[in-house]
Amino acid sequence: MHAAVNDFIASIKHCDQFKRVAVFGSCTWQKVLTQVGNSMFSGDIRYFDNRIGAINWITKK
């Protein structure tokens, strides 16, 4: 959890440098943080419980 919080803080500091962020996980709190982050982020953040889905979305142009 500590690493996830650090990642979240780093993403807030650099949010203007990302167009999209894929969050891959299996916990409800990860999904909730993704929704919270999406409201504070100018880009697009999406939560995925499927690794391939996250990779496909983040790499599409």
Segment 7-53, tens digit of pLDDT: 777 766 766 777 888 999 999 999 998 888 788 777 888 999 999 99
Find the angle CA(39)-CA(6)-CA(22) to the nearest 5 degrees: 50
Nearest to 25 by CA among 54, 49, 6, 52: 49
Whether residue 58 contacts residue 20, with contact meaning beta carbons closer than 8 Å, is answered with: yes
Q: Tell me which residue range forms the domain holding 27.
A: 2-59
- 14 versus 6: the higher-pLDDT residue is 6
Number of domains in the chain: 1
